[in-house]
Amino acid sequence: MSAPPRTATEAVEAIRAGQLSARELWLACQAAATDDELNAFTWVADADDGPNEEAAALPFAGIPLAVKDLFCTEGIPSQAGSRILRDYRPPYTATVVRQLLDAGASLLAKTNQDEFAMGSSNENSAYGAVLNPHDRGRVPGGSSGGSAAAVAAGIVPWALGTDTGGSIRQPAALCGIVGLKPTYGACSRYGMIAFASSLDQAGPLTRSVADAALLFSKMVGRDPCDSTSLAFPEAIELPRSERLDGLRFGVPDELTGEGVETGVRAAFEASVALVEQLGASVERCQLPHAPHALAAYYLIAPAECSSNLARFDGVRYGLRVDSQDGSLEEMYSRTRAEGFGAEVKRRVMLGTYALSSGYYDAYYGRAQRVRTKIAEDFRAAFERFDFILTPTSPTAAFELGARTSDPLAMYLSDFCTVPMSLAGIPAISIPNGASGGLPVGLQVVGPAFSEPRLLDAAHALELAHADRVKTIALPSPLRFEGNENGAAGARE
């Protein structure tokens, strides 16, 4: 073959055709991950632990996969970006990871992330910030920033992330790749270190929509270990659409106006014109409660986080800091003080406050009612439209440190992605050209369990966007033996 495979789908095809071996690809990715300068990884497999001959016959042909650190992987560090879980090696593997390994993916690396998935810049990791491969002075987005940076930089073909309020879609947008947040319940959460259980979903970060569909097709399914998971109602096929004829797209005023920076808006408007050229209709619409989504989210997510993170207490796993007075309570509070970073503490405090006696109805109860209104807004919109279109992030990647001193400004990064999370509906971010030389994302949103149609529409848009997206493509870091130019040589 003349060049390293650009996508996972191409890599699988190249292995099938005998143009590349799974082993060669593993070694090239392993070397690139070891040499990584973006701080994208918290653990990288040994070169010797690559796929065996049998893997080539499986659907994923043994190609490497990077997995966000918060997925439990048996015997392999799973630290969720937190000091409190330093060197924690779980006794079991998350269902979603297990399914992908069974389908023939090879676990190459665990990726850096914001601590317990709380953050939009990856600066909240106890293992250091991740750098954006397009500009190392900027953030990759978060919380799945390591996964996004690794895929965008071409170090791994694809990666697994999780999305609670935008943690797959926003870093995908800021790094110029594809990120899918599935319908809540489509993929098992068993073995995902929990942040906000009513919102958390696993999903793919990839370099093409077809790759997202391919990875997602093996992630779905009901898991007896997660009572909120459901059997996906249909098979996930590879997307093939090249047109959007007859489809109706809605553009909500509330998520496309104020707060969206000029370059992002220009890219968005260009993509709206493209949707029409592909045969679809586009109309403006309203999601009247969307402006309240962020407020509801920053009550619901911290409330659930304060409850979920109660398990980190220095008893069963992770860090313990001994008490000075010999009491159990002081051991808890010193362990948590030492083990949690500033943002996690902030959210644990906010959530504990919102759930505390006397405030529950005013905060958590109210937020859950707002959530109902947001879901109703989407249901009403989907009676008129097949899909909703918004920018993924109101800005392109910001500079490292730019928002760390202002939590509220950081939270505003999520204002286009949080409403869909609250409604539990699927949304995909695809590359949408650039603003000031930095990648910009386009978010396509559909009703619950519409992923097959959503992926098809995103695929048609991806094809039509190809020229604009080429401008942000990065050179592959993969080096194959016997070819100094980084291209895989012809094999026997």
Catalytic residue set:
68, 143, 167
Question: x/- binding map, residues 217-236, to another protein, per CB under 8 A?
Answer: -------x--xx-x------
Tell me how crowded residue 75 is: count the other CB atoms within 10 A of its CB: 10
Rounded distance between C-alpha atoms, residue 118 and residue 196, angstroms: 10
286 lies in the site for another protein, by CB under 8 A: no
Which window, 115-123, 232-240, 250-258, 316-324, contacts another protein (CB under 8 A)?
316-324
Q: Is 45 helix (H, G, I), strand (E, B) or coil?
A: coil
316 sits near another protein (criterion: CB under 8 A): yes
In the list 25, 294, 396, 438, the residue contacting another protein (rule: CB under 8 A) is 294
Q: Which residue, among 65, 447, 399, has the nearest Cα to 218 in the 3D structure?
A: 65
Kindly identify the residues of this chain, within the stretch 320-339, that bind another protein according to CB under 8 A: 320, 322-323, 325-334, 336-337
Q: Which DSSP string corresponds to 146-202? A: HHHHHHHTTSSSEEEEEESSSTTHHHHHHHTSEEEEPPTTSB--TTBPPS-TTT-EE
Does 83 help bind another protein (rule: CB under 8 A)?
A: no
Residues numbered 390 to 449 that lie near another protein (CB under 8 A) are 407-408, 411, 422-424, 448
Per CB under 8 A, 298 contacts another protein: yes
**8-state DSSP, 282:** E
Written as one letter, the residue type at 344 is: V
Q: Does 349 bind another protein (CB under 8 A)?
A: yes
**Segment near another protein (CB under 8 A); pick from 65-73, 277-285, 346-354, 381-389:** 346-354
Site string for another protein, 355-384 (x = CB under 8 A): -x-----xx-xxxxxxxxx-x---------
> Of the candidates 348, 400, 427, 469, which one interacts with another protein according to CB under 8 A?
348
Determine if 184 is a binding residue for another protein (CB under 8 A): yes
Residue 472 within binding range of another protein, rule CB under 8 A:
no
Task: Give the whole-angstrom CA distance, residue 403 versus residue 30.
Answer: 33
Phi-psi region of 391 (alpha: psi -120 to 50; beta: other; left: phi over 0): beta
Closer Cβ to another protein, 275 or 423, answer by number: 423
Candidates 5, 133, 314, 447; binder of another protein (CB under 8 A) is 314
> How far, in Å, are 3, 56, 63, 139, 427 from residue 445 at the CA level?
34, 35, 29, 25, 4
Cβ atoms of 48 and 247 closer than 8 Å: no
Q: Which of residues 7-26 bind another protein (CB under 8 A)?
A: none
Q: What are phi and psi of 441, to 5 degrees?
A: -110, 150
Q: Does 290 bind another protein (CB under 8 A)?
A: no
Q: Judged by CB under 8 A, does residue 189 bind another protein?
A: no
295 binds another protein per the rule CB under 8 A:
yes
The answer to whether 65 and 100 are in contact (CB under 8 A) is yes
**Minimum Å distance from CB 206 to another protein?**
24
Give every CB contact of residue 9 below 8 A, 6+ residues apart in sequence. 208, 210, 211, 214, 238
Please, what is the minimum distance in Å from the beta carbon of residue 378 to another protein? 10
Stretch that binds another protein, among 46-54, 177-185, 235-243, 481-489 (CB under 8 A): 177-185
Structure tokens at 57: 């016959």
CB 406 within 8 A of CB 187: no
By CB under 8 A, tell whether 315 contacts another protein: yes
- The minimum distance between CB 91 and another protein, in angstroms, equals 5
Q: Which of 292, 403, 453, 479 binds another protein (CB under 8 A)?
A: 292
- Rounded to the nearest whole angstrom, what is the least distance from the CB of residue 107 to another protein in the complex? 20
Q: Closest CB to another protein among 92 and 234? A: 92
Of the candidates 34, 317, 463, 483, which one interacts with another protein according to CB under 8 A? 317
What DSSP assignment string belongs to 288-355?
TTGGGHHHHHHHHHHHHHHHHGGG-SSSSSS-----SS--HHHHHHHHHHHHS-HHHHHHHHHHHHHH
Nearer to another protein, 268 or 340 (CB): 340
Paired tokens of 214: 């391919």
| Least separation in angstroms between CB 334 and another protein | 5
Contact with another protein (CB under 8 A) among 198, 281, 404, 483: 198
From CA 379, how far away is CA 288, in angstroms rounded?
A: 12
Nearest distance from C-beta of residue 375 to another protein, angstroms:
6
- List, in order, residues 6 or more apart from 462 with CB less than 8 Å away: 178, 208, 209, 430, 431, 469
Query: Where does this chain touch another protein (CB under 8 A) — which range of 21-29, 38-46, 147-155, 311-319?
Result: 311-319
Looking at the Cβ atoms of 183 and 241, the one nearer to another protein is: 183
